[in-house]
Amino acid sequence: MTGFLALGFFILNGYGYLTLHSDALSNTLSWKHILAAVKKSKKSLPSGASVVILGDSIGQQLFPRETVPNSLISNGAVLAVGHYILANNAIKRNKNLKYIVLVSAPWVLGHQFEWELTYNCFMKPFYTFENLRHISKPLFEKINKRKMTHRVIFPFVKTAPCFSDINLTGTRKKPREILSDTALEYLKKLKNLCSENNIEFIVLSPPIREEWRRKTNHWEKMKIQVAQIGLDDSFKEYFKRMIYLDDSYFRDHVHMRSGYIDVKKNRAGIISRILPQQVRVGLYRPK
């Protein structure tokens, strides 16, 4: 019986491992786009590339990972810790990096770890033996609150559809107007990581709804928070270059309508407004 179980464990995890590493098999995973970002982060960027772009699903509309070579965009549910791990992978493999740009809507940075998308979008792709060293004590304590969550470290649990989801929260938390604990911790870590490698860390916002400006008083609380933790440098352009659009430009109040963003001129216009000149040069003309 023990032999049967041990061999079963080995076979099931073997198949899971194969699934994670085969494009054809991983194609059926619900989080395949995040896996694609992880895989891309472990490859070298085109020679001479000096910019890496991380970000959420709105950022993906501006810098699609599939077509922009510098883009390692996943989604907002990977949380700042996911972005940190992706950046870490990219820095290790690309010695010429000068800028790491995080394109994320402000309320996305407000999402707590206890979010209904965290299990499938962060835990499955990022909770691996390899990444354990990036999991801080406070974060580990959060994960530890649901004991069964740890099993996701095995490839079998990550990939088998019978382990589809664990709702880590039970209730859907409303978007926040301040940075979450996890964001605070990992944005700081990301900043330090970049400093250690002589890389500039820049946070930028994709276009958001006009309503947010009024609701948050142009992110007054977040600005104070950012100053308190010493991230002003990275957020220097964030609030200055923030674009507010009318709700009619959004298909679901969050993502821009494809009829708008898929027009080359519109996308280029937004990119030129939010992205500083020096970064744009690194992004489009890698040496």
Partner 1 sequence: MVFTSFDFLIFLSLLFPVYFLFPQRFRWVLLLAASGYFYSYLRLSYLVYLIVPTLVIYGIAVKLEAMKPGPWKKLLLFAGVISGLACLLLFKYADFIGRSVYAAGGIFGGGGKYEPFNFILPIGISFYSFKLVSYIIDVYHERLNAERHIGYFTLYVSFFPQLLAGPIDRAVHFIPQLKKKIRFDYDRVVSGLRLTAWGFFKKLVIADQLAAVVNQVYGNVHNYAGVPLIAATIAYTFQIYCDFSGYSDIAIGVSRIFGFKSMKNFDSPYSSTSIVKFWNNWHISLTTWLRDYLFLPIAYAVMGKIKSPKLAGIKAETWGYAGGMFITMFLGGLWHGARWTFVLWGSVHGIFLIFSYITKKTRKRAVKKIKLNRYPGLHKFVKVSITFGLVAFAWIFFRADSISDAFYIVTHLHTGLAAFIGDAAEAFLFNLSLKPAIDLIARLGIPVVVLNKVIIAVIIMEGVQLVQRKTNIDTWFSRKPLWVRWSCYYTLLVIILYWGRYDIKEFIYFQF
Chain residues that interact with partner 1, rule: CB under 8 A: 4, 7-8, 11-12, 15, 19, 24, 27-28, 156, 159-162, 164
Least spacing, CB of residue 27 vs partner 1, in Å: 6
Least spacing, CB of residue 145 vs partner 1, in Å: 20
Listed residue (45, 54, 78, 64) closest to 204, CA to CA: 54
Listed residue (106, 92, 73) closest to 220, CA to CA: 106
Least spacing, CB of residue 7 vs partner 1, in Å: 7
Torsion of CA 42, 47, 49, 53, to 10 degrees: -30
CB-nearer residue toward partner 1: 113 or 156: 156
Region of 183 on the Ramachandran plot (φ > 0 left; ψ -120 to 50 alpha; else beta): alpha
Task: Name the pairing type of β-strands 99-103 and 51-55.
Answer: parallel
Give the Cα separation of 234 and 87 in Å (integer): 15
Give the Cα separation of 206 and 164 in Å (integer): 30
CB-nearer residue toward partner 1: 24 or 174: 24
CB-nearer residue toward partner 1: 13 or 136: 13
209 within 8 A of 247, measured Cβ to Cβ? yes
CB-nearer residue toward partner 1: 30 or 217: 30
Least spacing, CB of residue 29 vs partner 1, in Å: 11
33 within 8 A of 263, measured Cβ to Cβ? no
∠ CA 92-98-101, nearest 5°, is: 90
CB-nearer residue toward partner 1: 68 or 160: 160
Residues 6+ apart with CB under 8 A from 266: 260
CB-nearer residue toward partner 1: 6 or 268: 6
Least spacing, CB of residue 161 vs partner 1, in Å: 5
CB-nearer residue toward partner 1: 133 or 162: 162
Least spacing, CB of residue 162 vs partner 1, in Å: 5
Residue 31 structure tokens: 């989080």
Least spacing, CB of residue 154 vs partner 1, in Å: 12
Q: What is the CB neighbour count within 10 angstroms for residue 25?
A: 14
